[in-house]
Structure 1
Amino acid sequence: MEEVMDLLTELSRRKVLAIIRADGPDRALACIRTLVGAGITALEVSLTTPGAAEAIAKARSEFDPPVLIGAGTVITPEQADEVAAARAAFTVTPGITPGAHRSVELGLPLLCGALTPTEVVAALDLGALAVKIFPAKVYGPGYFRELRGPLPNAPLIAVGGVDAAVTPEYLAAGALAVGVGSPLLGDAGTGGSLEALAGRAKEFLQAVADA
């Protein structure tokens, strides 16, 4: 339980969770290295990336435990088993998937996707460490303030269309962190500039500092 609580504390402290989607494990690893070098040290590799588990395993071997590397888009129980074997630090799901159930069974910290209050409660009842509100951009930062009325202690992460400019608004509205994919990654996952990726990472970190 201590490790689980530490993860929640660390996500709350670091504020930015990078979501990596790439065209293969080598490019995913290159993006991880670039982001960690720029200062973003909480990352998930989406299983929509070919060879995602391989990239997670290599990254876990390369970086010390304070660099948090998890697996995203975990749908099936088999995927949860695969990323557990790759030593993913946590799993992220788009909803209450069979993979979410299996993650809880395995004792893997789970960031479970949800949108409505009913789904948030169900995700927490399942055993999710935190709830990924997705897609956040549909309702915006104000929605987080509304959710925190009846659910003041629910740990919420804003994911989906969150860019650097709006990040401070989500944090001010009660999100403990933001999960960022394409606004951060751009085309870096498919051969685009890693230098530009590092620049975007700095923008997000500055936005968090400003918040």
Structure 2
Amino acid sequence: MSDNVIIARHLSKVVSSSEAELTILDNVSLQITRGSSVAILGASGSGKSTLLSLLAGLDLPSGGEVELAGKVLNDLDEDQRAALRGAQVGFVFQSFQLLDSLTALENVMLPLELAGRRDARQRAAELLDRVGLAARTSHYPQQLSGGEQQRVAIARAFASEPAILFADEPTGNLDAATGERITDLLFELNREQQTTLVLVTHDARLAERCSSALHMQAGKLLEPAL
């Protein structure tokens, strides 16, 4: 089995508007090693989030291809890509993306139930305890602080023990102290579960904790993955 869990080959992403075509990504190639932690850095508009979306199979490139967990995403239809993400991938977003109608426990249980796990409730409770929210399992998102909501999101992301976790500005909506705790938690779970961690971030301190960094500028990759 290859040590590379993600391989991108000559990725491009071009979108058309009424005025002209806009190149968001331009010939990006990279490899990310299983179990590593990689930061994607760059100014707003440099293509970071678009790259993350393509690597995760949430969108398809205009040119080139992505190989994720041994599967070439271009060769899969939308349902197959969704199934691959469900089996291999977790997500943490800046906006948390919790379901307001579900409690913290139910939000974490959801991916486990969708996967048919009979121990969904027990596993979800264990993870919420792991992220320090054992006393908040019955609370709804609107009853939780931003930091608590992000911890629920992290527990949900790790619930199915994904091979890869994609995080898009995971500390962007948090104060510095809370962001530091969230960062500690991400890296603890990365080490414990050997989950490959791919982070889009503006935070240089967060990037410094990763095993390598990718620098984006105007849709191009300035430094290859280590």
Answer whether TM exceeds 0.5 for this pair: no
Higher RCO (C-alpha 8 Å, min separation 6): 2
State the TM-score, normalizing by the size of structure 1: 0.36
Q: Which has the higher strand share?
A: 2
